Amino acid sequence: MSTDEFIDLRSDTVTRPSDAMRDAARNADVGDDVYRDDPTVTELERRAADAVGMEAALYTPSGTMANQTAVKVHTEPGQELLLDRESHIYRWELAGASMLSGVQTRTIDAGDRCVPSPEAVERELVAEDLHRPGTGLMALENTHNYRGGVAVPKSRIDAAAAAAHDAGVSVHLDGARLFNASVALDEPAPALVDGVDSVTFCLSKGLGAPVGSILAGSEAFIEEARRVRKLFGGGMRQAGMIAAPGVLALENVGRLATDHANAARLAAGLDDLPGVSVPEPDTNIVVADTEAAGIPAADFVDACAAVGVGCGEFDTYTTRFTTHLDVDAEDVDAAVDRVAGVVTEHGA
Ligand SMILES: *Cc1c(COP(=O)(O)O)cnc(C)c1O
């Protein structure tokens, strides 16, 4: 990458499809997937189900649709959905759970551990009675995006899920970056999700596909999810064109380790800058705190963009940088150099 090029660390969604993905799209065998006639979509769904060790899977246009479909299938209107107050489903999906499924959210502070303890789950679950709606679903997240790409160990997911199951409540895992967690924890993805009933993961983030996510679960769950996807307007026709790159994306799991190494390099470089504090990342998300430098995140993001580094405002003084397959170690070093200039110019 030449030195004047924009280094886009806003998100791992910004990756461009590889030549192989473009060729795969062009040459894909297709049919009308609403009639279940698209062999490429069917192949993607089979491989995706295997990748997470679930019976069946459904291809959706986005992770948001996959999550919201799961919420709708698992719940009845008027029930509660229990989830972390910093979770994507609660925070970044436009109140979809209430709009689309008519459920009331009950948030819990899962703290640094990102998943509530079994005691907290037991305390917050609501049993149905004359006055109370009952909890229909608990949702967990791994890696946890807003808490900094934290890879949540299997034991924590399993303990929280078991507490919900003991009360007869189903569990969905928002695993948009499940494979980042799997690589970071050196734990196979199926093991990370064997305690939950359904899982979402994104093909269009670190795995590099241009479009799409997966919802996986039991055969019966996915049959119902297919109807809900249609209801939400997500029934697609010759979707093999976009599913074919998704098949290739599943082969990119191993390379996520490179993104994690680049994120660690970036975090160390930024943490060395005066007034910038950056915890060591678990995966590919780096969260920089610029409060000691006296630079609000909104200004920091603008100043970084002006010197050719893309990042995103997370909170008043925190900014997110994300590594992905279109940036290498050289780009990371160049980004740190440019951000150093920003801190010198704007820092207290
Ligand atoms: C990105 C993301 C989603 C949503 O995926 P989209 O494809 O952008 O709709 C859901 N959950 C988490 C944790 C995410 O990071």
Q: Is ligand 1 within 6 A of the CB of residue 96?
A: no
pLDDT per position as a tens digit, 280-316:
999 999 999 999 999 999 999 999 999 999 999 999 9
Residue of 150, 180, 202, 283 to test ligand 1 pocket, by largest number of atoms within 8 Å of CB: 202
| CA 13 vs CA 29, 122, 178, 300: distances in Å | 26, 36, 15, 21
Judged by DSSP in three states, 171 sits in strand
Q: Is the pLDDT of residue 50 over 60?
A: yes
First-last CA distance in the chain: 32
Residue of 13, 91, 145, 178 to test ligand 1 pocket, by largest number of atoms within 8 Å of CB: 145
Judged by DSSP in three states, 244 sits in helix
Q: Is ligand 1 within 6 A of the CB of residue 11?
A: no
Q: Is the pLDDT of residue 2 over 90?
A: no
Contact present, 145 and 177 (Cβ < 8 Å): yes
CA of 282 to the centre of ligand 1 (A): 18
Pick the residue whose CA is nearest to atom 3 on ligand 1.
63
Distance CA 192, CA 214 (A): 16
Helix H, strand E, coil C: the string for 183-197 is: HHHCCCHHHHHCCCC
Q: What is the mean pLDDT of residues 162-177?
A: 98
CA of 273 to the centre of ligand 1 (A): 30
Distance CA 348, CA 296 (A): 11
Distance CA 116, CA 181 (A): 17
Q: Is ligand 1 within 6 A of the CB of residue 249?
A: no
What is residue 111's predicted lDDT score, i.e. its pLDDT? 87
Q: To 10 degrees, the CA torsion angle through 241, 246, 252, 257?
A: 130
Q: Is ligand 1 within 6 A of the CB of residue 62?
A: yes
Q: What is the mean pLDDT of residues 46-55?
A: 98
Closest C-alpha to 110, from 79, 88, 80, 134 = 88
Sorting pLDDT into bands at 50, 70 and 90, what band is 176?
Answer: very high
Q: Which helix (H) or strand (E) holds 302?
A: helix 297-306
pLDDT per position as a tens digit, 222-257:
999 999 999 999 999 999 999 999 999 999 999 999
Which burial class, exposed, middle or buried, applies to 5 when counting CB atoms under 10 A from its CB (0-12, 13-18, 19+)?
A: exposed
CA of 306 to the centre of ligand 1 (A): 27
Q: Is ligand 1 within 6 A of the CB of residue 234?
A: no
Sorting pLDDT into bands at 50, 70 and 90, what band is 3?
Answer: low
pTM above 0.95, yes or no: yes
What is residue 294's predicted lDDT score, i.e. its pLDDT? 96
CA of 174 to the centre of ligand 1 (A): 8
pLDDT per position as a tens digit, 116-126:
999 999 999 99
| CA 225 vs CA 143, 152, 189, 235, 291: distances in Å | 23, 26, 21, 11, 44
- Residue 123: both structure tokens together: 């305390």
Q: Which atom of ligand 1 is nearest to the CA of 204?
A: 7
Q: What is the mean pLDDT of residues 81-88?
A: 97
What is residue 1's predicted lDDT score, i.e. its pLDDT? 47
What sections of 143-218 are H helices per DSSP?
A: 154-166, 178-185, 189-193
Q: Is ligand 1 within 6 A of the CB of residue 158?
A: no
Distance CA 178, CA 201 (A): 6
CA of 200 to the centre of ligand 1 (A): 9
Tokens 């695993």: give the residue.
175
